[in-house]
Structure 1
Amino acid sequence: MNWKLMTTAAALGMAAIVGTSTMAASAPAASKLLTSIDPDKDGTADMNEVRAAAGALFDKLDRDHDGTLDAKELRGRVSAKDLKAADPDNDGTLTKDEYLALVAGRFKAADPDNDGTLDAKELKSVAKLLK
Protein backbone atom coordinates (compact mmCIF):
# COMPACT_ATOMS: atom_id res chain seq x y z
CA MET A 1 0.00 0.00 0.00
CA ASN A 2 1.20 3.48 -0.67
CA TRP A 3 1.94 6.03 2.05
CA LYS A 4 -0.69 8.54 0.85
CA LEU A 5 -3.38 5.87 0.98
CA MET A 6 -2.35 4.79 4.48
CA THR A 7 -2.29 8.40 5.66
CA THR A 8 -5.75 8.97 4.23
CA ALA A 9 -7.00 5.79 5.84
CA ALA A 10 -5.52 6.79 9.20
CA ALA A 11 -7.21 10.17 8.95
CA LEU A 12 -10.51 8.47 8.17
CA GLY A 13 -10.03 6.20 11.13
CA MET A 14 -9.51 9.16 13.43
CA ALA A 15 -12.60 10.82 11.99
CA ALA A 16 -14.56 7.66 12.73
CA ILE A 17 -13.43 7.71 16.35
CA VAL A 18 -14.38 11.33 16.96
CA GLY A 19 -17.29 11.37 14.53
CA THR A 20 -20.94 10.60 14.92
CA SER A 21 -22.39 7.63 16.72
CA THR A 22 -23.64 6.26 13.39
CA MET A 23 -20.08 5.14 12.76
CA ALA A 24 -19.96 3.00 15.90
CA ALA A 25 -21.76 -0.16 16.88
CA SER A 26 -23.41 -0.74 20.23
CA ALA A 27 -21.37 -2.41 22.94
CA PRO A 28 -23.32 -5.72 22.74
CA ALA A 29 -23.01 -5.74 18.95
CA ALA A 30 -19.28 -5.09 19.14
CA SER A 31 -18.89 -7.84 21.72
CA LYS A 32 -20.76 -10.29 19.48
CA LEU A 33 -18.66 -9.23 16.49
CA LEU A 34 -15.46 -9.70 18.49
CA THR A 35 -16.49 -13.25 19.33
CA SER A 36 -17.08 -14.00 15.65
CA ILE A 37 -13.73 -12.64 14.40
CA ASP A 38 -11.51 -13.86 17.26
CA PRO A 39 -10.45 -17.39 16.25
CA ASP A 40 -7.87 -17.69 19.04
CA LYS A 41 -10.54 -16.65 21.60
CA ASP A 42 -8.20 -14.31 23.49
CA GLY A 43 -10.88 -11.62 23.83
CA THR A 44 -9.21 -9.21 21.43
CA ALA A 45 -8.91 -8.75 17.68
CA ASP A 46 -5.50 -8.11 16.18
CA MET A 47 -4.87 -6.57 12.75
CA ASN A 48 -4.69 -9.98 11.04
CA GLU A 49 -8.05 -11.04 12.46
CA VAL A 50 -9.64 -7.71 11.51
CA ARG A 51 -8.14 -7.81 7.99
CA ALA A 52 -9.42 -11.36 7.50
CA ALA A 53 -12.93 -10.36 8.58
CA ALA A 54 -12.84 -7.22 6.43
CA GLY A 55 -11.55 -9.15 3.41
CA ALA A 56 -14.28 -11.77 3.76
CA LEU A 57 -16.91 -9.06 4.07
CA PHE A 58 -15.54 -7.27 1.00
CA ASP A 59 -15.87 -10.47 -1.01
CA LYS A 60 -19.43 -10.96 0.23
CA LEU A 61 -20.46 -7.37 -0.53
CA ASP A 62 -18.93 -7.41 -4.03
CA ARG A 63 -22.07 -8.91 -5.56
CA ASP A 64 -21.15 -8.06 -9.15
CA HIS A 65 -17.67 -9.57 -8.63
CA ASP A 66 -15.89 -6.64 -10.27
CA GLY A 67 -13.30 -6.33 -7.50
CA THR A 68 -14.69 -3.03 -6.21
CA LEU A 69 -17.39 -1.78 -3.88
CA ASP A 70 -19.56 1.18 -4.81
CA ALA A 71 -21.79 3.15 -2.45
CA LYS A 72 -24.70 0.78 -3.07
CA GLU A 73 -22.64 -2.31 -2.26
CA LEU A 74 -21.20 -0.62 0.85
CA ARG A 75 -24.76 -0.13 2.14
CA GLY A 76 -24.05 2.75 4.51
CA ARG A 77 -20.90 1.33 6.05
CA VAL A 78 -18.97 4.35 4.81
CA SER A 79 -20.29 7.90 4.49
CA ALA A 80 -20.09 9.60 1.09
CA LYS A 81 -17.37 11.86 2.46
CA ASP A 82 -15.33 8.92 3.77
CA LEU A 83 -15.81 7.01 0.51
CA LYS A 84 -14.42 9.96 -1.42
CA ALA A 85 -11.46 10.30 0.94
CA ALA A 86 -10.67 6.56 0.78
CA ASP A 87 -10.88 6.56 -3.03
CA PRO A 88 -7.54 7.98 -4.25
CA ASP A 89 -8.30 7.31 -7.93
CA ASN A 90 -11.68 9.07 -7.59
CA ASP A 91 -13.60 6.39 -9.48
CA GLY A 92 -16.41 6.25 -6.90
CA THR A 93 -15.51 2.75 -5.77
CA LEU A 94 -13.15 1.07 -3.33
CA THR A 95 -10.87 -1.75 -4.37
CA LYS A 96 -10.10 -4.40 -1.79
CA ASP A 97 -6.77 -2.72 -1.04
CA GLU A 98 -8.48 0.65 -0.56
CA TYR A 99 -11.11 -0.94 1.70
CA LEU A 100 -8.48 -2.74 3.75
CA ALA A 101 -6.48 0.51 4.05
CA LEU A 102 -9.60 2.20 5.41
CA VAL A 103 -10.06 -0.63 7.90
CA ALA A 104 -6.38 -0.45 8.91
CA GLY A 105 -6.65 3.28 9.51
CA ARG A 106 -9.70 2.87 11.68
CA PHE A 107 -8.02 0.00 13.54
CA LYS A 108 -5.01 2.18 14.35
CA ALA A 109 -7.22 5.05 15.46
CA ALA A 110 -9.28 2.67 17.64
CA ASP A 111 -6.14 1.35 19.37
CA PRO A 112 -5.19 4.26 21.67
CA ASP A 113 -2.94 2.12 23.83
CA ASN A 114 -1.07 0.94 20.70
CA ASP A 115 -1.00 -2.66 21.87
CA GLY A 116 -1.92 -3.95 18.40
CA THR A 117 -5.24 -5.38 19.53
CA LEU A 118 -8.80 -4.16 19.95
CA ASP A 119 -11.08 -5.22 22.76
CA ALA A 120 -14.87 -5.04 22.35
CA LYS A 121 -14.97 -1.39 23.46
CA GLU A 122 -12.25 -0.34 21.01
CA LEU A 123 -13.76 -2.46 18.22
CA LYS A 124 -17.00 -0.44 18.22
CA SER A 125 -15.63 2.21 15.85
CA VAL A 126 -14.45 -0.38 13.31
CA ALA A 127 -17.45 -2.70 13.56
CA LYS A 128 -19.43 -1.22 10.65
CA LEU A 129 -16.64 -2.18 8.28
CA LEU A 130 -16.54 -5.79 9.49
CA LYS A 131 -20.15 -6.92 9.62
Structure 2
Amino acid sequence: MRNVTHAAVLLGAVSLALPLGMPAANARSSGVEKTLKAADTDNDGSIDLKEATAAAEALFDKLEKDKDGTVDTKELQGRVSKKDLKAADPDNDGTLDKKEFLALVEQRFKAADPDNDGTVDAKELKTAAGLALSALLK
Protein backbone atom coordinates (compact mmCIF):
# COMPACT_ATOMS: atom_id res chain seq x y z
CA MET A 1 0.00 0.00 0.00
CA ARG A 2 2.85 2.34 0.86
CA ASN A 3 4.39 1.89 -2.60
CA VAL A 4 1.03 2.60 -4.20
CA THR A 5 0.73 5.83 -2.19
CA HIS A 6 4.25 6.94 -3.18
CA ALA A 7 3.52 6.11 -6.79
CA ALA A 8 0.29 8.11 -6.70
CA VAL A 9 2.06 11.10 -5.15
CA LEU A 10 4.86 10.89 -7.71
CA LEU A 11 2.40 10.57 -10.58
CA GLY A 12 0.46 13.56 -9.28
CA ALA A 13 3.60 15.65 -9.02
CA VAL A 14 4.68 14.72 -12.53
CA SER A 15 1.25 15.49 -13.96
CA LEU A 16 1.31 18.91 -12.29
CA ALA A 17 4.83 19.69 -13.49
CA LEU A 18 4.26 18.73 -17.12
CA PRO A 19 1.72 21.42 -17.95
CA LEU A 20 3.92 24.04 -16.31
CA GLY A 21 6.88 23.21 -18.54
CA MET A 22 4.92 22.75 -21.72
CA PRO A 23 3.90 26.36 -22.41
CA ALA A 24 7.50 27.58 -22.59
CA ALA A 25 8.41 24.89 -25.10
CA ASN A 26 5.20 25.47 -27.03
CA ALA A 27 5.73 29.24 -26.95
CA ARG A 28 9.23 28.84 -28.37
CA SER A 29 8.01 26.51 -31.11
CA SER A 30 5.04 28.74 -31.78
CA GLY A 31 7.30 31.81 -32.00
CA VAL A 32 9.63 30.03 -34.40
CA GLU A 33 6.71 28.93 -36.56
CA LYS A 34 5.32 32.48 -36.62
CA THR A 35 8.70 33.90 -37.60
CA LEU A 36 9.14 31.33 -40.36
CA LYS A 37 5.61 31.85 -41.65
CA ALA A 38 6.03 35.63 -41.70
CA ALA A 39 9.56 35.86 -43.09
CA ASP A 40 9.97 32.76 -45.28
CA THR A 41 8.41 34.21 -48.41
CA ASP A 42 9.68 31.46 -50.73
CA ASN A 43 8.33 28.77 -48.35
CA ASP A 44 11.53 26.71 -48.36
CA GLY A 45 11.53 26.20 -44.58
CA SER A 46 14.30 28.68 -43.89
CA ILE A 47 15.00 32.41 -43.91
CA ASP A 48 17.79 33.92 -45.96
CA LEU A 49 19.27 37.37 -45.38
CA LYS A 50 17.08 38.95 -48.07
CA GLU A 51 13.93 37.60 -46.40
CA ALA A 52 15.18 38.63 -42.96
CA THR A 53 15.91 42.14 -44.21
CA ALA A 54 12.47 42.48 -45.80
CA ALA A 55 10.76 41.32 -42.59
CA ALA A 56 12.93 43.65 -40.49
CA GLU A 57 12.16 46.62 -42.73
CA ALA A 58 8.44 45.99 -42.33
CA LEU A 59 8.83 45.68 -38.56
CA PHE A 60 10.88 48.89 -38.40
CA ASP A 61 8.16 50.77 -40.28
CA LYS A 62 5.52 49.36 -37.93
CA LEU A 63 7.48 50.19 -34.76
CA GLU A 64 8.50 53.68 -35.85
CA LYS A 65 5.30 55.31 -34.66
CA ASP A 66 6.41 58.95 -34.39
CA LYS A 67 7.69 58.96 -38.00
CA ASP A 68 11.02 60.62 -37.13
CA GLY A 69 13.03 58.01 -39.06
CA THR A 70 14.35 56.27 -35.95
CA VAL A 71 13.27 53.81 -33.28
CA ASP A 72 14.07 54.36 -29.64
CA THR A 73 13.97 52.05 -26.64
CA LYS A 74 10.24 52.61 -26.16
CA GLU A 75 9.43 51.90 -29.81
CA LEU A 76 11.63 48.80 -29.82
CA GLN A 77 9.42 47.34 -27.07
CA GLY A 78 12.16 45.23 -25.45
CA ARG A 79 13.39 43.66 -28.67
CA VAL A 80 16.88 45.09 -28.09
CA SER A 81 18.68 45.43 -24.76
CA LYS A 82 20.17 48.78 -23.79
CA LYS A 83 23.63 47.27 -24.25
CA ASP A 84 22.79 46.03 -27.76
CA LEU A 85 21.17 49.35 -28.64
CA LYS A 86 24.30 51.21 -27.61
CA ALA A 87 26.50 48.83 -29.64
CA ALA A 88 24.27 49.20 -32.72
CA ASP A 89 24.11 53.01 -32.41
CA PRO A 90 27.38 54.38 -33.87
CA ASP A 91 26.22 58.00 -33.73
CA ASN A 92 25.31 57.58 -30.02
CA ASP A 93 21.98 59.38 -30.33
CA GLY A 94 20.08 56.71 -28.35
CA THR A 95 18.07 55.62 -31.38
CA LEU A 96 18.46 53.38 -34.41
CA ASP A 97 17.70 54.61 -37.89
CA LYS A 98 16.69 52.03 -40.47
CA LYS A 99 20.28 51.53 -41.68
CA GLU A 100 21.52 50.91 -38.12
CA PHE A 101 18.55 48.62 -37.39
CA LEU A 102 19.21 46.56 -40.53
CA ALA A 103 22.91 46.32 -39.66
CA LEU A 104 21.87 44.83 -36.31
CA VAL A 105 19.56 42.40 -38.11
CA GLU A 106 22.43 41.30 -40.36
CA GLN A 107 24.70 40.84 -37.33
CA ARG A 108 22.05 38.74 -35.57
CA PHE A 109 21.38 36.78 -38.77
CA LYS A 110 25.05 35.83 -39.03
CA ALA A 111 25.10 34.80 -35.36
CA ALA A 112 22.01 32.63 -35.91
CA ASP A 113 23.61 30.92 -38.93
CA PRO A 114 26.52 29.01 -37.35
CA ASP A 115 26.88 26.65 -40.31
CA ASN A 116 27.26 29.65 -42.64
CA ASP A 117 24.93 28.22 -45.25
CA GLY A 118 23.22 31.58 -45.75
CA THR A 119 19.93 30.50 -44.21
CA VAL A 120 18.41 30.17 -40.77
CA ASP A 121 16.05 27.22 -40.29
CA ALA A 122 13.66 26.33 -37.47
CA LYS A 123 16.36 24.54 -35.48
CA GLU A 124 18.65 27.58 -35.67
CA LEU A 125 15.78 29.94 -34.80
CA LYS A 126 15.29 28.04 -31.53
CA THR A 127 18.79 28.94 -30.34
CA ALA A 128 19.50 32.06 -28.28
CA ALA A 129 20.94 33.77 -31.37
CA GLY A 130 17.94 32.69 -33.43
CA LEU A 131 15.50 34.03 -30.88
CA ALA A 132 17.39 37.35 -30.81
CA LEU A 133 17.07 37.51 -34.60
CA SER A 134 13.41 36.54 -34.46
CA ALA A 135 12.69 39.48 -32.15
CA LEU A 136 13.73 41.83 -34.97
CA LEU A 137 11.62 40.12 -37.64
CA LYS A 138 8.12 39.96 -36.15
TM normalised by structure 1 equals 0.78
Aligned to 1:77: 79
Q: Offset of 1:130 from its aligned partner?
A: 1.0
In 2, the alpha carbon distance for the partners of 1:121 and 1:64 equals 36
In 2, the alpha carbon distance for the partners of 1:44 and 1:95 equals 27
Aligned to 1:88: 90
- What are structure 2's unaligned runs of at least 5 residues? 1-26
Residues 17-96 of structure 1: matches in 2 within 5 Å? 26-96=28-98
CA shift digits 1:72-96 (9 cap, x unpaired): 0001000011111110000000010
Residue identity in the other structure for 2:50? N
CA shift digits 1:14-55 (9 cap, x unpaired): xxxxxxxxxxx7132112210121111100000000000000
In 2, the alpha carbon distance for the partners of 1:39 and 1:104 equals 18
In 2, the alpha carbon distance for the partners of 1:68 and 1:50 equals 19
In 2, the alpha carbon distance for the partners of 1:101 and 1:72 equals 20
Q: Indicate if the aligned counterparts of 1:55 and 1:100 stay in contact, CA closer than 8 A.
A: yes
Structure 1 residue runs of 4 or more that deviate by more than 3 Å after TM superposition: none
How many aligned residue pairs are there?
107
Match of 1:114 among 100, 103, 116: 116
Q: Secondary structure at the match of 1:45?
A: strand
Identity, % of aligned pairs? 65
Q: Offset of 1:114 from its aligned partner?
A: 0.4
- What are structure 1's unaligned runs of at least 5 residues? 1-24
Residue identity in the other structure for 1:130? L
Aligned to 2:137: 130
Q: Secondary structure at the match of 2:43?
A: coil
Q: CA RMSD in A?
A: 1.1
